Structure 1
Amino acid sequence: MSFPRACLITLAAFILLGVALPVFAGPAPKLAAPPEGERWFSIKLGDERVGFAQLNISKAGAGYRIESKGSVKMRVMGFSREATSRESYLVGPDLALQSFATESRIDGSPLALKGEVTAKGIRVVVESGGSRKERTVKSKGPVYPPQALNILPLMRGTAAGKSLKINILDVESTKVKEVEVEVIGEETLSSGTATVHLRNNLYPMVDNDIWVDLEGNSLKESVRDDLVVTQAEDEQSARLYLAQAALAKLDLVLDFSLIRVSPPLDRPEQLLKLSVEFTGVPAALPILQGKGQQGKRLPDGRVLFSMPNEAYASGPEEAPQAADLEPGQRIPSDSPEIIARMVEIVGDEKDPARKARLLMQWVAREIKGAVTDSQSPLETLKTRSGNCQSHARLYAALARAAGIPTRFVSGLVYWQGQGFLYHSWAESHLNGWIALDPTFGEMPANLTHIKLVEGDSAGEMGLLAGVIGRLQAKVVEKVYSLADSSRDLQRPE
Structure 2
Amino acid sequence: MTERHDRPGFPLIKIGLFILWMTLFSMLLGRDYFIETIDTREAAALERAERTVFQGIYFKDNKIGYVENQFLPEGEQIVLRQKAHMQLNISAQTHVIDLDMEATLDSGNRLQTFTFTFSSPFYRMAAAGQVDGNTVSYTLETGSSTIQDSMVLAKPPLLATTRRAYLLIQGIESGEKRRIPWFDPISLTAKESILEYRGKEQVLIHGRIFNLHRFNENFSGARVSSWLDDEGNVVKEESPAGFVFLKEPEFKAKQIDSESTELLSSVAVQIVGEMIDLGSTTVAHYRLSLPDDHQFILNHGRQQFTDGLLIVTLETIPETSTDEQVPLGFEKYLAATPYIQADAENIIAKSTELTSGATTSLEKVKMLADWVHNALEKRPVIGIPDAVTTLNNLRGDCNEHASLFAALSRAAGVPTQIAVGVVYHKEAFYYHAWNEVYLAGQWVSLDTTTNQFPADLSHLRFTGGGLQEQALIGSLLGSLKIEPLPNKQ
Under a length normalisation based on structure 1, what TM-score does the superposition of the two structures give?
0.48
- Per chain length, whose mean CA-contact separation is higher, i.e. which structure has more relative contact order (CA < 8 Å, sep 6+)? 2
In our comparison, the structure showing a higher alpha carbon Rg is 1
Under a length normalisation based on structure 2, what TM-score does the superposition of the two structures give?
0.48
